Amino acid sequence: MSTVLVVDDNRTAADALAAVLTREGHAAEALYGGASACERLDRGGVDVVLTDLRMDGVDGLGVLEHARALERPPEVLVLTGYGGVGEAVRAMRLGARDFLTKPVAPSTLLEKLSSLGVPDVAVDLGSSAPAVALRERLSAVAAVRSTVLLVGEPGSGRRRAVRSLVSGSLSVVTSPSSVGEAGDADTVFVPDVDRLGALDQQALGRLLDRVDGPRVIASASPAWRGSELYYRLAVLVVPVPSLRERVSDLPELVEAIVSEREQALGRTAPRPTEEQLAALARHPWPGNLRELEAVVERAVVFGRWSLDAEPVEPSVVELREGFSLPQHLESVERGVLVRAMEQAGGDRAEVGRLLGLERNTLRYKLKKYGLL
């Protein structure tokens, strides 16, 4: 779940968008002007700002500039009914994640928000050897404009690492049709480049061929190797460690996430006991930092008793009176689906790839277990 600030001086439009986002599980707040949005941003706890461009007083670009100047800046999506290339370019240069023309379909907006769903407080924390090595490598890479490949598991913080590498405007290429159409952005980020189709790989290759083109940063899973595109992108390779590799950072990571969610949700949250921290350290964390954020948010909302990771199914089943094999298999199947959804950040295509299920079968199973 993200905390989203919806800013529009049209109250009806702001309330309608906030209602859509709330129904989908986001914590959405509607504000009716740029000045009040800037005041709210100063209190912190906002993950994403969805702002109209043209407003009286402080307009959308003013909100954008204010948001990006914060110590922990939220992502910003700019909406307008008067789309223009010049306005879009200016918004991107100021750090907007995307520029959308009204009316925007709820499905499109939700897809954009889903693409932003990244751990935003945890990747640059910790004193473990992998965390220190990541910071040192990111610091070295940030000083040059070479092509970068971030290698890590889904949910490990690859997108958050990109922000530490970019000082100018950033264009995030999430739609296959937009690969290579970077406009005037200083840097282009292509997430999950190992999942691009042949045509998209060719388009990305043309972008890399441009002498005056933007800097390209891409992310991929650790298993991706061998293709021509891999060797073109693997100029500066930055491994992003999984949470399993840095479990000694858990106390600091949990504290940071708890503090952030306390501020966002306006409530005091429990801290884990020593026993709970030990249990968290034993968990395999297939969803990495994204999974950890979900665990912590459950604790903020439900209390300390829920500060537990999803249990791993035991390999040996205790057979006793009342045992039901069908029920047990359904429980295992649902647990695997939940784990895959967390690891894929809700991306159904990625869930299908992880589990080897075609789309209709996956949809049937998600519906069966109430996970749609």
Same domain, yes or no: 101 and 201: no
Q: Where are the beta strands (DSSP E) in 15-141?
A: 27-31, 48-52, 75-80, 98-101
Q: How do residues 301-330 score in pLDDT, each as one tens digit?
A: 766 656 665 544 444 455 666 666 776 677
Domain range for residue 13? Answer: 3-115
Tell me what pLDDT residue 63 has. 92
Among candidate residues 36, 81, 44, the one with its CA nearest the CA of residue 63 = 36
Domain-embedded: residue 212: yes
Domain at 214, CATH number: 3.40.50.300
Give 83: exposed, middle or buried? Use CB within 10 Å, 0-12, 13-18, 19+. Answer: middle
Q: Domain end: 241, 265, 299, which one?
A: 241
Q: Domain end: 241, 258, 278, which one?
A: 241
Domain-embedded: residue 33: yes
Tell me what pLDDT residue 103 has. 76
Which stretches of the chain score pLDDT less than 70? 1-2, 24-25, 82-89, 92-93, 107, 111, 114-122, 124, 167-170, 174-185, 263-266, 302-324, 327-328, 331, 342, 345
Domain-embedded: residue 121: no
Tell me what pLDDT residue 137 has. 92
Domain-embedded: residue 157: yes
Tell me what pLDDT residue 140 has. 92
Give how many domains the chain has, as a whole number. Answer: 3
Same domain, yes or no: 221 and 177: yes
Strand partners for 80 = 101
Tell me the chain's radius of gyration from C-alpha atoms.
Answer: 21
Domain-embedded: residue 139: yes
Domain at 31, CATH number: 3.40.50.2300
Q: Domain end: 57, 82, 115, which one?
A: 115
Tell me what pLDDT residue 15 has. 87
Structure tokens at 298: 């459950």
154 Cβ partners below 8 Å, 6+ apart?
Answer: 221, 287, 288, 290, 343, 344, 345, 350
Same domain, yes or no: 34 and 133: no
